[in-house]
Amino acid sequence: MLLADLATPAGITELVRVTGATQSFFNQPERADGISAVVQSAIAANPNLAHVKVRIMPHLPNCFYNYERGELILGLVNPDALAHELGHANRIKQDGLYRKILTAANGVARLNNVVAIPAMLALRMFIQDPERRNDILNSLAAVSTAIAAPGLMEEAGASVSAMRNAPDRLQALKTLGPAFLAHFASSMMPAAVYEAGSL
Protein backbone atom coordinates (compact mmCIF):
# COMPACT_ATOMS: atom_id res chain seq x y z
CA MET A 1 0.00 0.00 0.00
CA LEU A 2 1.12 3.56 -0.71
CA LEU A 3 0.29 6.62 1.36
CA ALA A 4 -1.95 7.91 -1.44
CA ASP A 5 -4.19 4.87 -0.90
CA LEU A 6 -5.07 6.14 2.58
CA ALA A 7 -6.58 9.23 1.00
CA THR A 8 -9.29 7.04 -0.54
CA PRO A 9 -12.32 5.28 0.99
CA ALA A 10 -10.98 1.93 -0.25
CA GLY A 11 -7.68 2.51 1.53
CA ILE A 12 -9.40 3.45 4.80
CA THR A 13 -11.63 0.38 4.49
CA GLU A 14 -8.52 -1.78 4.10
CA LEU A 15 -6.86 -0.09 7.09
CA VAL A 16 -9.93 -0.76 9.24
CA ARG A 17 -10.14 -4.36 8.00
CA VAL A 18 -6.49 -5.17 8.73
CA THR A 19 -6.34 -3.45 12.10
CA GLY A 20 -9.59 -5.06 13.27
CA ALA A 21 -11.64 -1.86 13.13
CA THR A 22 -10.79 1.35 14.90
CA GLN A 23 -11.50 0.53 18.52
CA SER A 24 -7.75 0.39 19.18
CA PHE A 25 -7.57 4.15 19.68
CA PHE A 26 -8.99 4.69 23.15
CA ASN A 27 -12.46 3.52 22.06
CA GLN A 28 -12.90 6.54 19.83
CA PRO A 29 -13.50 5.02 16.38
CA GLU A 30 -14.59 8.37 14.97
CA ARG A 31 -10.93 9.47 15.17
CA ALA A 32 -10.19 7.22 12.18
CA ASP A 33 -12.11 9.64 10.01
CA GLY A 34 -9.20 12.06 10.31
CA ILE A 35 -6.70 9.66 8.72
CA SER A 36 -7.81 10.47 5.19
CA ALA A 37 -7.82 14.22 5.90
CA VAL A 38 -4.28 14.10 7.34
CA VAL A 39 -3.00 12.15 4.32
CA GLN A 40 -4.68 14.47 1.81
CA SER A 41 -3.21 17.53 3.56
CA ALA A 42 0.29 16.02 3.65
CA ILE A 43 0.21 15.04 -0.02
CA ALA A 44 -1.12 18.47 -1.02
CA ALA A 45 1.84 20.08 0.76
CA ASN A 46 4.37 17.60 -0.67
CA PRO A 47 3.16 15.42 -3.59
CA ASN A 48 6.24 13.18 -3.25
CA LEU A 49 4.76 11.76 -0.06
CA ALA A 50 2.05 10.04 -2.11
CA HIS A 51 4.61 7.34 -3.01
CA VAL A 52 5.72 6.57 0.56
CA LYS A 53 5.16 2.87 1.27
CA VAL A 54 2.78 2.02 4.10
CA ARG A 55 2.98 -1.25 6.01
CA ILE A 56 0.02 -1.97 8.29
CA MET A 57 0.83 -3.95 11.43
CA PRO A 58 -2.42 -4.51 13.36
CA HIS A 59 -0.85 -5.39 16.71
CA LEU A 60 1.58 -2.45 16.82
CA PRO A 61 0.40 0.01 19.50
CA ASN A 62 1.80 3.04 17.65
CA CYS A 63 3.09 4.09 14.26
CA PHE A 64 6.47 5.29 13.04
CA TYR A 65 8.36 6.33 9.95
CA ASN A 66 11.28 4.01 9.20
CA TYR A 67 13.61 6.49 7.53
CA GLU A 68 16.23 3.86 6.75
CA ARG A 69 13.71 2.02 4.54
CA GLY A 70 11.55 5.00 3.64
CA GLU A 71 8.30 3.42 4.78
CA LEU A 72 5.54 4.23 7.21
CA ILE A 73 4.70 1.47 9.71
CA LEU A 74 1.09 1.97 10.79
CA GLY A 75 -0.51 0.12 13.69
CA LEU A 76 -2.41 2.71 15.70
CA VAL A 77 -5.36 4.32 13.93
CA ASN A 78 -4.68 7.85 15.14
CA PRO A 79 -4.61 10.88 12.84
CA ASP A 80 -2.39 12.92 15.17
CA ALA A 81 0.23 10.19 15.45
CA LEU A 82 0.07 9.73 11.68
CA ALA A 83 0.52 13.49 11.13
CA HIS A 84 3.59 13.37 13.38
CA GLU A 85 5.12 10.50 11.40
CA LEU A 86 4.32 12.24 8.12
CA GLY A 87 6.24 15.22 9.50
CA HIS A 88 9.25 12.89 9.76
CA ALA A 89 8.66 11.55 6.26
CA ASN A 90 8.43 15.04 4.81
CA ARG A 91 11.63 16.25 6.51
CA ILE A 92 13.77 13.12 6.13
CA LYS A 93 12.70 11.95 2.68
CA GLN A 94 13.88 15.17 1.05
CA ASP A 95 17.43 15.33 2.40
CA GLY A 96 19.89 12.44 2.07
CA LEU A 97 22.65 14.10 4.13
CA TYR A 98 20.25 14.90 6.96
CA ARG A 99 19.04 11.28 6.95
CA LYS A 100 22.64 10.02 7.20
CA ILE A 101 23.44 12.36 10.10
CA LEU A 102 20.24 11.38 11.90
CA THR A 103 20.88 7.67 11.35
CA ALA A 104 24.42 7.95 12.74
CA ALA A 105 23.36 10.07 15.72
CA ASN A 106 20.48 7.73 16.60
CA GLY A 107 22.77 4.70 16.37
CA VAL A 108 25.31 6.25 18.74
CA ALA A 109 22.49 7.40 21.05
CA ARG A 110 21.09 3.84 21.28
CA LEU A 111 24.56 2.52 22.15
CA ASN A 112 25.01 5.30 24.70
CA ASN A 113 21.70 4.33 26.37
CA VAL A 114 23.05 0.80 26.87
CA VAL A 115 26.51 1.70 28.17
CA ALA A 116 25.74 4.79 30.30
CA ILE A 117 25.08 3.04 33.62
CA PRO A 118 27.94 0.50 33.36
CA ALA A 119 30.34 3.26 32.23
CA MET A 120 29.35 5.54 35.11
CA LEU A 121 29.71 2.71 37.65
CA ALA A 122 33.09 1.71 36.22
CA LEU A 123 34.37 5.29 36.40
CA ARG A 124 33.20 5.62 40.01
CA MET A 125 34.85 2.32 40.90
CA PHE A 126 38.19 2.65 39.11
CA ILE A 127 38.99 6.38 39.16
CA GLN A 128 39.65 7.38 42.74
CA ASP A 129 40.47 11.06 42.12
CA PRO A 130 37.05 12.77 42.46
CA GLU A 131 38.02 15.84 40.44
CA ARG A 132 39.32 13.83 37.48
CA ARG A 133 36.36 11.43 37.64
CA ASN A 134 33.84 14.29 37.72
CA ASP A 135 35.55 16.00 34.77
CA ILE A 136 35.18 12.80 32.73
CA LEU A 137 31.56 12.30 33.81
CA ASN A 138 30.65 15.92 33.05
CA SER A 139 32.30 15.63 29.63
CA LEU A 140 30.35 12.42 28.93
CA ALA A 141 27.13 14.19 29.96
CA ALA A 142 27.85 17.04 27.54
CA VAL A 143 28.69 14.63 24.70
CA SER A 144 25.53 12.63 25.44
CA THR A 145 23.42 15.78 25.19
CA ALA A 146 25.03 16.66 21.85
CA ILE A 147 24.41 13.13 20.56
CA ALA A 148 20.74 13.29 21.59
CA ALA A 149 20.15 16.73 20.04
CA PRO A 150 19.54 15.70 16.37
CA GLY A 151 16.94 13.10 17.32
CA LEU A 152 15.17 15.46 19.74
CA MET A 153 15.16 18.25 17.17
CA GLU A 154 13.65 15.88 14.62
CA GLU A 155 10.95 14.77 17.08
CA ALA A 156 10.15 18.37 17.99
CA GLY A 157 9.98 19.39 14.33
CA ALA A 158 7.61 16.54 13.46
CA SER A 159 5.41 17.35 16.46
CA VAL A 160 5.23 21.05 15.58
CA SER A 161 4.31 20.13 12.00
CA ALA A 162 1.57 17.77 13.24
CA MET A 163 0.21 20.37 15.68
CA ARG A 164 0.15 23.02 12.98
CA ASN A 165 -2.00 20.82 10.72
CA ALA A 166 -4.19 19.22 13.40
CA PRO A 167 -7.92 19.89 13.13
CA ASP A 168 -8.19 19.53 16.93
CA ARG A 169 -5.02 20.95 18.49
CA LEU A 170 -6.00 20.10 22.05
CA GLN A 171 -6.48 16.44 21.12
CA ALA A 172 -3.19 16.51 19.20
CA LEU A 173 -1.41 17.94 22.23
CA LYS A 174 -2.85 15.17 24.42
CA THR A 175 -1.52 12.58 21.97
CA LEU A 176 1.83 14.09 21.02
CA GLY A 177 2.85 15.78 24.29
CA PRO A 178 3.38 12.61 26.33
CA ALA A 179 5.07 10.91 23.36
CA PHE A 180 7.58 13.77 23.07
CA LEU A 181 8.24 13.72 26.81
CA ALA A 182 8.93 9.97 26.61
CA HIS A 183 11.38 10.58 23.74
CA PHE A 184 13.02 13.38 25.72
CA ALA A 185 13.39 11.26 28.86
CA SER A 186 14.84 8.33 26.92
CA SER A 187 17.23 10.53 24.94
CA MET A 188 18.49 12.45 27.97
CA MET A 189 18.82 9.41 30.25
CA PRO A 190 22.57 8.91 29.59
CA ALA A 191 23.36 12.57 30.31
CA ALA A 192 21.36 12.35 33.55
CA VAL A 193 23.21 9.15 34.53
CA TYR A 194 26.62 10.75 34.00
CA GLU A 195 25.58 13.88 35.88
CA ALA A 196 24.24 11.77 38.77
CA GLY A 197 27.54 9.89 38.86
CA SER A 198 29.43 13.14 39.44
CA LEU A 199 27.38 14.06 42.54
Give the pLDDT confidence of 130-162 residue by residue, as tens digits.
Answer: 999 999 999 999 999 999 999 999 999 999 988
Band of pLDDT at residue 25, cut at 50, 70 and 90: very low
Domain boundary among 93, 125, 146: 93
Q: What is the pLDDT of residue 26?
A: 41
Mean model confidence pLDDT for the chain: 86
Are 58 and 105 part of one and the same domain?
no
Are 119 and 78 part of one and the same domain?
no
Are 37 and 103 part of one and the same domain?
no
3-state secondary structure of 163: helix
Band of pLDDT at residue 126, cut at 50, 70 and 90: very high
Domain that holds residue 38: 3-93
Question: Of 104 and 114, which is predicted with more confidence?
Answer: 114
Are 27 and 101 part of one and the same domain?
no
Domain boundary among 93, 111, 139: 93
Q: What is the pLDDT of residue 32?
A: 61
Are 102 and 82 part of one and the same domain?
no
Are 19 and 70 part of one and the same domain?
yes
Look at residues 48, 179, 194 and name the one whose alpha carbon lies nearest to residue 113: 194
Task: Report H helices in 67-165.
Answer: 79-93, 96-126, 130-165
Mean pLDDT, residues 102-120 taken together = 92
